[in-house]
A and B are shown apart, each in its own frame.
Chain A
Amino acid sequence: MYRSQTLALKYFSAAITLFGVMTITGLISAYYYLNPDFLLGILPFNIAKILHINTLVMWLLMGFMGSIYWFLPAELGRETAGIWAAEILFYVFCAAVAVVAVVFIFIQYGGSNEAALWFINQGRKYVEAPRWAALGIVVIMVVFAYNVIGTAIAARKTTGIITVLMIDLIPLILLYLIAFPAISNMSADLFWWWWLVHLWVEATWEVLIGCIMALALMQLLGTSRRIVETWLYIEVALVLGTGILGLGHHYFWIGTPNYWLTIGGFFSALEPLPLLGMVVHAVYDAGAQHMKTTNRPAFYWMMAEAFGNFIGAGVWGFMITLPQINLYAHGTQWTVSHGHFAFWGAYSCGVISVLYLVLQKTRNLAFVDGPLWKWSFAALNLGLVGMTGALLVSGFVQAFVERAIGGSTLNAFISGQENAWFVDGMVARFLLALVFTAGYVVLVWDVLTLGRRAPAVAAVAPAQ
């Protein structure tokens, strides 16, 4: 095994651990809606939620990096360039995440000065991590990009997928620099912040996961390179063709000119179209393989990725993306419903799929199957889809009671939050989150024991 692949395994372990932290902090945040005095004064809602969404971003990034460190050496036929730096930075990364988490939990916030932003909390959604840590992430990502580009240079060759990946990493890293400034003008602040958030999840990350899924498809189904690359280019063209200006769906109400209502609504309404193409592609692959594969969990999670991306991002996003509807749905639990479904479908399922592929190789399994992955697959997906359903009910009620009727004052907000349907939605969300959590526990169990259980469950291939 290449050193790069050993590093990949470490990244996956860290990713799955942070996935656990994300789940627990999600549960705490959700429980606040049921019992608002819970931990008040110890770990307020905002800190729990910061931990939830920051570990989300970090575990997905770690999962992406692990996937690339895994596939890269085989793809280019040599050890990853500068792997020693990446190995050191992995520990730096983990230590930094731990320090940031401890500071969030125990210090929480500082005074209104630059020092607080450097060392405690930047207070900008998704990128709350203090600046020193954000700088660390920049260094880690730059070294990661160097690993990819340097390996291609050292190998004196590249492939279509790796070329797309190399080009994609540049805007991805540049966009992250938006995590640093503290612009006083909220309109300008949010304007740039959405470049980061939207152009990550609906542009550069989509391309990144596209590359990862392309590499995984070749390993999992033996699809030929030419086909995979053709599809990657088509996907990149369509996703970025609609997604770049789709950014406008966040510029309806932040003080920006009203041409964004037309541009943002139009282009983002086109975003589901390429996602349907990917679903059809998944059906084709499934049918062509007669659902036969040596790695069933990887295969099912990959199918879940295609479907989840379409439904979570495409369908759930489409509901709220026209300005007329967004005027009411904006910033309600409806948004939360979409955010969960989309992140889960588009990214989490893909990372879990690659994880199973990696395990098949490292544990030397001819065949990966068994009952455990099915239970975790079912509980995670049912739990998450159920949660988004519950959030949709609450979100609809909130949009109606608070926004349409009430007019978004504090009183209107309270009557929305106290509406019986809203409350039921929040209770249901919490219960379904417990199902999701059970699925996570089974996933960890399966991942830990896969190939180490009785051979009837997973047949061990003869040593090579």
Chain B
Amino acid sequence: MSGLATLETGLLLGLYALLAGIWGVLWGLAQFRQTQICGRSAAAAYGLHVLAALTIILWTPLGFGWKSLIVGSSLVFLAIPPMTWRLLQHTHQKEGSEHDRQPSQYSSRIVARL
């Protein structure tokens, strides 16, 4: 395994994770501004992320197990923004109930008696 190829793999892995982050941010922005450009750039970011993943899989000297991990992570990265979002919306829907808004000392529900 050549040293340079391994080191370039390191940079590719960084790019891979960075693009996943950009995908997450753009996906979130697209939920607020439902313009085409936002949605498309989010998709493009994920597309580039997949491209980085493919480059890692086809071109780098990593073993099979590590490459599977890359594929698996890409799938999880795909799911994280929508899943986080849904959960956030779900929890925020119930925000209305008054006792939650009170400072802790009045909120008997979550105050465990010691």
Contact = CB atoms under 8 A, between A and B. Distances in A.
Direct interface between A and B, CB < 8 A:
yes
Interface of A: 74-77, 152-153, 155-160, 163, 222, 224-227, 229-230, 262, 265-266, 269-270, 272-273, 276-277, 279-281, 283-284, 287-288, 307, 310-311, 314-316, 318-320, 322, 324-325, 327-329, 334, 396, 399-400, 403-405
A227 B20 CA distance: 25
B100 A226 contact: yes
20 contacts: A76-B105, A77-B105, A156-B113, A157-B113, A225-B100, A226-B95, A226-B100, A227-B91, A265-B66, A269-B69, A281-B84, A281-B88, A316-B14, A318-B13, A319-B13, A325-B6, A334-B10, A400-B7, A404-B4, A404-B7
Nearest to A274: B80
Contact of A266 (B18, B21, B69, B101): B69
A334 B13 CA distance: 14
Contacts of B87: 230
Given A269-B73, A273-B77, A315-B18, A156 B6 contact: no
Nearest to B107: A225
B7 A287 contact: no
B7 A325 contact: yes
Interface in B72-103: 73, 76-77, 80-81, 84-85, 87-88, 91-92, 94-95, 100-101, 103
A310 B77 CA distance: 13
A279 B84 CA distance: 10
A76 B1 CA distance: 58
B17 A272 contact: yes
Contacts of B62: 322, 324
Interface SS, A side:
helix
A75 B104 contact: yes
Contacts of A270: 73
Interface of B: 1-4, 6-7, 9-11, 13-14, 16-18, 20-21, 24-25, 27-29, 31-32, 61-62, 65-66, 69, 73, 76-77, 80-81, 84-85, 87-88, 91-92, 94-95, 100-101, 103-105, 107, 110-114
A222 B9 CA distance: 44
A319 B69 contact: no
B50 to A, nearest CB: 16
Contacts of B28: 280, 283-284, 287
Nearest to B101: A224
B73 A273 contact: yes
A77 B103 contact: yes
A31 B65 CA distance: 43
Given A74-B103, A283-B25, A319-B14, A158 B114 contact: yes
B84 to A, nearest CB: 4
A334 B6 CA distance: 14
Contacts of B77: 273, 276
B110 A229 contact: yes
Contacts of A157: 104-105, 111-114
B30 to A, nearest CB: 10
B49 to A, nearest CB: 11
A75 B59 CA distance: 54
B70 to A, nearest CB: 8
B21 A287 contact: no
Contact of A224 (B16, B25, B80, B100): B100
Contact of B84 (A153, A159, A280, A399): A280
B21 A324 contact: no
Interface centre among B6, B25, B91, B113 (most CB of A within 10 A): B6
A318 B14 contact: yes
